Each structure stands twice: as structure tokens, then as C-alpha cells.
Amino acid sequence: MGNAKLVSASQVVMTQLVLPTHTNALGSIFGGTIMSWIDVAAAIAAQRHSGKDVVTASIDTLNFIAPVYKGWVVNLKASVNFTSRTSMEVGVRVDAENPRTGEVFHTASAYTTFVALGSNGKPTLVPALQLETDVEKRRFQEAKDRREQRLKNRKF
């Protein structure tokens, strides 16, 4: 594991405030805004891990679980779950906090795939993951299984 990196070395915690420009006529956030924030948080984690420029290859699953309203605080946590030769799966969890009540709600989760690019703009090798905890090992195996399914689905 000479070039392997710890999962914790690239984790991202990003906080956003939901402003009026982020909301629809119902006062809840546009799903696209959360999608954009997820993409940014995941890209930072992938870039930290690879030490390279990265591009989004896919967003596998994005589930909106609960609404988020104007004035609330959104916390995004991104973590590299799996690495292949040139790609990385990054999981992102989105929690929203109602600042008036202090309640925290799990509002969305997503799995994204990023590809690292070399100076020539072509895919380049990424470091392996050094897994320390049982949670990291479980997430790695689950991400590996998702990757295998993605590759099967790509053949159609």
C-alpha cells in the first residue's frame, strides 16, 4: 500500500445556507441546487484523494428523503468509498438543520463517480484506499458491488 491514502485524508464537510434564490414557490430548495452542492463536495473529496483534476462521470443514485426550507442550514459530508484504476466512487450524505428548532433531518444521499485526469487531459491512475474501520471496509465492498453493476449495465 505504498501510495494508498486514508479515507479520512480526503473527507469533506461542506455547509451551505439556503437563501431565497435557492428556493421554489413553496419555499423549499430546488433539487438541482442540492445536486450542484453534492457534485462540488464530491469533486473536492475526489480531488483531495487523487491529487489530480477530476471530472464527474456519473451520479448513480440520488434520493431526496425530506424537504429543505429557506433559512435552513445544509451540511454535506463526502467520502471516497472505492477506487479503481482511474475512477473513484464518492458517497455524499446531505443533512439539513432547522436553526430555529435545532432539529437535523437526513434529506438526501448520493453515489457519484469521478475520473482523475492527467496533465494531458486523459484518465490517470489514482491511489488506492487504505481502509481502517469496519465502516470503511463495508462501504468499499458495497461500492465495489455497485461498480460491477454499473459496468454490467453499460453493456446494454
Residue 4's φ and ψ, nearest 5 degrees, are: -70, 145
* Per-residue model confidence as pLDDT tens digits over 10-57: 999 999 999 999 999 999 999 999 999 999 999 999 999 999 999 999
| Separation CA 148–CA 125 (nearest Å) | 19
C-alpha 81/C-alpha 73 separation (Å) is: 25
pTM recorded for the entire structure:
0.93
Query: What is the pLDDT, as a whole number, of residue 1?
Result: 41
Rounded CA-CA distance 109/3 in Å is 29
Residue pLDDT, tens place only, 122-136: 999 999 999 999 999
Q: What are the phi and psi torsion angles at 23 (to 5°)?
A: -110, 160
Residues of the chain with pLDDT > 90, as a percent, come to: 90
In the chain, domain spans: 5-154
Q: How do residues 74-87 score in pLDDT, each as one tens digit?
A: 999 999 999 999 99
Give CA separation, 118 vs 2, 7, 38, 107, 125, in Å.
20, 22, 24, 35, 8
Hey, what CATH topology would domain 5-154 get? Answer: Thiol Ester Dehydrase; Chain A (3.10.129)
* Nearest of 58, 76, 72, 78 to residue 139 by alpha carbon: 78
